């Protein structure tokens, strides 16, 4: 079976990106773009593709949510025993990708992933709804299960276990931060002559380059 899709691809005409216009700090530049994505009511503007790999280079990719942005990097949360958690434990390098269709933009980020301090994970966990706290206690992320009913029964068991009690953060659930070494901002342009501005960290300083489409 063969399918061709070129005829349905749109032209990108909404904006341009010039090296002289970007902020010297890519985190500040990213925050500006994220704020614009939120104001344009992008669906799930903090959703990002997270790519991780085993030490021998077998890749996995999934969508997770950006939960915090700071000067050091991009924070997300997961079970440490999930497939992504196991890969990060063995290979700390990963990549993120944000895509905002209404703005015809994407951002690619590569860097080093490590766990955040436990107090940061505790603070975020305590901000979650009770149902989401209970979900973290099921401890089965990425594992094979027989059916949906099995999962729902485990949830009810945890609900009963913590009935009338505070729900603490599980020891094997918490945050990760990706500390970037490379960040690329992509703005769609006509005729596939896209604007690509890349920040690369060298000797603890950010260098800015324009890339060919």
Q: Kindly report whether the global pTM for this prediction surpasses the value 0.85.
A: yes
Instruction: Flag whether 124 is in a domain.
Output: yes
- Of 82-91, 116-125, 139-148, least confident by mean pLDDT is 139-148
Half-sphere exposure at residue 94, Cβ-oriented, CA atoms within 13 angstroms = 31
Q: How many whole angstroms separate alpha carbon 34 and alpha carbon 106?
A: 10
Instruction: Flag whether 24 is in a domain.
Output: yes
Among candidate residues 88, 139, 142, 76, the one with its CA nearest the CA of residue 113? 88
Instruction: Flag whether 142 is in a domain.
Output: no
Give me the active site residues, please.
192
Q: How many domains does the chain have?
A: 1
pLDDT at 1 over 90: no
Instruction: Flag whether 99 is in a domain.
Output: yes
Q: How many whole angstroms separate alpha carbon 17 and alpha carbon 25?
A: 15
Range of the domain at 62: 9-129+171-211
CATH number of residue 77's parent domain: 2.30.110.10
Instruction: Flag whether 94 is in a domain.
Output: yes
- 143: tokens are 């594992």
pLDDT tens for 166-195 read: 999 999 999 999 999 999 999 999 999 999
Instruction: Flag whether 163 is in a domain.
Output: no
Instruction: Flag whether 91 is in a domain.
Output: yes
pLDDT tens for 19-64 read: 999 999 999 999 999 999 999 999 999 999 999 999 999 999 999 9
Q: How many whole angstroms separate alpha carbon 61 and alpha carbon 197?
A: 24
Instruction: Flag whether 158 is in a domain.
Output: no
Q: What is the 3-state secondary structure (H, E, C) of the chain?
A: CCCCCHHHCCCCCCCCCCHHHCCCCHHHHHHHHHHHHHHCCCCCCCEEEEEEECCCCCEEEEEEECCEEECCEEEEEEECCCHHHHHHHHCCEEEEEEEEHHHCEEEEEEEEEEECCHHHHHHHHHCCCHHHHHHHCCCCCCCCCCCHHHHHHHHHHHHHHCCCCCCCCCCCEEEEEEEEEEEEEEECCHHHCCEEEEEEEECCEEEEEEECC
- 8: phi > 0 → left, psi -120 to 50 → alpha, else beta; which? alpha
Q: How far from 36 is each of 101, 179, 199, CA to CA, in Å? A: 12, 23, 20
């Amino acid at each position: 079976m063969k399918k061709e899709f070129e005829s349905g691809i749109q032209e990108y005409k909404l904006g341009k990106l010039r090296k002289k216009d970007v902020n010297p700090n890519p985190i500040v530049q990213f925050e500006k773009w994220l704020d614009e994505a939120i104001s344009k009511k992008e669906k799930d503007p903090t959703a990002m593709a997270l790519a991780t790999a085993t030490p021998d280079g077998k890749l996995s990719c999934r969508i997770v949510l950006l939960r915090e942005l700071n000067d050091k990097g991009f924070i997300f949360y997961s079970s440490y025993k999930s497939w992504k958690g196991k890969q990060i434990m063995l290979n700390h390098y990963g990549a993120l990708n944000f895509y905002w269709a209404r703005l015809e933009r994407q951002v690619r980020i590569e860097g080093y992933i490590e766990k955040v301090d436990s107090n940061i994970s505790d603070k975020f966990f305590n901000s979650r709804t009770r149902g989401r706290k209970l979900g973290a206690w099921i401890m089965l992320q990425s594992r094979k299960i027989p059916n949906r009913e099995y999962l729902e029964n485990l949830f009810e068991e945890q609900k009963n276990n913590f009935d009338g009690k505070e729900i603490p953060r599980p020891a094997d659930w918490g945050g990760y931060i990706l500390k970037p070494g490379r960040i690329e901002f992509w703005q769609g342009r006509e005729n596939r002559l896209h604007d690509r501005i890349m920040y690369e960290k060298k000797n603890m300083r950010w260098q800015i380059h324009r890339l060919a489409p």
